[in-house]
Amino acid sequence: MTKDNSMGKKTAKSTYGADQITVLEGLEPVRKRPGMYIGSTSATGLHHLIWEVVDNGIDEAMAGSATEIGVSLLPGGMVEIFDNGRGIPVDMHKVTGVSALETVLTKLHAGGKFGEGGGYKVSGGLHGVGVSVVNALSEYLKAEVHREGKIWVQEYAKGIPQKKIKAIGNAKDTCTIITFKPDATIFTETEFNWGKILDRLRQQAYLTKGITIRASDRRSGHREKDYKFHFEGGIKSYIKALNRDETVKNETVFYVEKEVNNSKVEVALQYNDQFNETVLAFANNINNPEGGTHLIGFRTALTRTLNSYARNHNLIKEKEENLTGDDVREGLTAIISVKLTDPQFEGQTKSKLGNAEMKTYVEQVFGDGFLIFLEEHPKEAEAIISKCVLSAQARIAARTARTAILRKGALDGMTLPGKLADCSSRHPEECELYIVEGDSAGGSAKQGRDRKFQAILPLRGKILNVERARLDKMLANNEIKNLVIALGTNIDEQFDLSKLRYHRVIIMTDADVDGAHIRTLLLTLFFRHFNPLVANGNLYIAQPPLYQIKKGAAIKYAYSDEEKEKVIKEMGGEVMEIEEKEDAETQNLPSGAEETEDVKETEEIKKKTANRITIQRYKGLGEMNPTQLWETTMNPEQRIVKQVTVEDAAAADKIFDMLMGDDVAPRKHFIQTHAKKVENLDI
């Protein structure tokens, strides 16, 4: 780190006036600061371009003007998006002096989502920012509009019109077709993820009843694929899909839909026998991963309604305490979808809805509808209440276990686990905890680490699979208990991220099947019970090298087969059989060679040996000495660590449930489907 000693100093020539104020015209601010508009310039931002154009088609569908949307990935990195709505207006705009199409594509905050009359009553997207941002961040964009009996076309390069809009033929229909190629100078990645696109389009089809969404992959080098999504059941069908492999408590999916003061509220839910909840909240078809007022209203009504029904039907004993929010959400799968005229989101990426009135609307519509559902389905209501009561009993048992095990003093660092080799620094932002597999690797890590900021916690064997266990059973497991105490954050509803003792928590396991299994068990634990830590970007996975490649005194490490081949090519020489731990300089030397009188023959043997490349495949961290482990896996200046993030919480939830849950059939199907894709499998 370097210190800037110029801080606070004044210079005679330092001025701050009108000349220092920069004004960015048109779409220039988008190209200057793309992250402000699409979140990032990585793969997430790249796909955001597609979402913005698709959202315009969804807006047309919600306005009752479109029935079909199409997304096609084309050769050369091009994307074509079609909707059979009314078509973007093409007549002259009185304020801008150019066509309405050019205005929408070149001016921020221009679109049919503002003002009154003729625009959208309900809309998603970036409120007129979306399509202009796509234009600004594309090296090429073509807009084709079928409207007023003609086909209108205009082309752009990096947001700049290349020619004026013109009619090129007659049209019998109305539609908008946007074709664009993302600018490779803006984005760090330009390869679209087909699976991610399909998941998003499928979700939009669920959220917009009756719409048809088609997707096709026509990219060079990709097998042509075509999909069609159409769900008459809407979010009811979505709930059934999410619970497809689960044992459900209420076979009849609860569903309510009602309009209140020009806002529409839609809620569907179903309970299963799992311990986790899956609740998705949407406003104008935009996913709100951080929830918002609509989610608060739903949760309030859910807890109140179930308690009211349970008391009125004597399903909770008089002396027993009420069900809590955590009790009623265990095993819950729910979708809340609201549509409103003027959504107020927190942040450009719309992660949280802020409209205060939506809390009241959702609470009222859902609460009334759910109570009627429970009264009309008494057997299913009893099954749901029984599930919640069981959850309450487990919560009380877990609270008792937590109180006994995780005393306040322990979490304050007074009684840290004996196996934890802590670091000397007491500044969490510079500290990191390595969770290491086994005592052997733990010993090497403890000797090789930088004691100032690196702590080591060895694990003995495989931890409990928390996907199949409640909290009281988890905390009886020594390895999990030690980890909770070492982190200092507590767990589940008492989790406190501000108490995290290490801002980088790094999982370091062997590069074999057992290591992968232990890593998966730990990821399951963190995802289920330390989720804010994952969401905050504090969890990492260490990447130890797979190979040590040695030629004479030169030693290099490779982290993949491709890198191994590259290193071998750079070194040159004869590649030997893959060895475990053998010194290349003494290998294959005849006994007593140095004592022989034939010095020339000895020198030739040494030269031949020196030209050989030996490759050691590391299967365990314990095979590396402390110095090697530090150089390859723990030195911040040289190591490779992967940050664990969750882009789609619902998809991650289903994967963990399928791979780590009790139901064998879906896991078997997954393994059979993906088995051939596995590389470097060590058994």
Annotated active-site residue 565? The verdict is no
3-state secondary structure 253-281: CEEEEEEECCEEEEEEEEEECCCCCEEEE
Residue 541 main-chain phi, psi, to 5 deg: -125, 125
Among 266, 363, 510, 631, which one carries the catalytic annotation?
Answer: 510
Element (H or E) spanning 540, and its range? strand 539-542
Separate counts of helices (H) and strands (E) for the chain: 22, 25
CA atoms within 13 A on the CB side of 188: 8
Among 257, 439, 514, 585, which one carries the catalytic annotation?
Answer: 514
Two tokens at 126?
């970036």
Strand order in the sheet with 574-579: 554-558, 547-551, 612-617, 574-579
Element (H or E) spanning 323, and its range? none
Annotated active-site residue 512? The verdict is yes
| Listed residue (54, 127, 132, 119) closest to 344, CA to CA | 127
Annotated active-site residue 342? The verdict is no
Annotated active-site residue 510? The verdict is yes
Among 330, 437, 472, 623, which one carries the catalytic annotation?
Answer: 437
Two tokens at 228?
């069609």
CA distances from 206 to 201, 202, 340, 358 (A): 9, 6, 18, 21
Helices (H), 313-468: 325-329, 357-376, 378-405, 408-411, 438-448
- Who's near 13: CB < 8 A, 6+ residues apart? none
Torsion of CA 604, 610, 613, 617, to 10 degrees: 120
Among 189, 257, 512, 585, which one carries the catalytic annotation?
Answer: 512
Contact 557, 549 (CB under 8 A): yes
Length in residues, the chain? 683
Beta strands in 386-529 (DSSP E): 432-437, 454-459, 504-508
What whole-number distance in Å separates Cα of residue 213 and Cα of residue 207? 12
| Listed residue (379, 393, 380, 370) closest to 308, CA to CA | 370
CA distances from 220 to 47, 79, 216, 224, 677 (A): 19, 13, 13, 9, 21
Catalytic annotation, residues: 437, 510, 512, 514
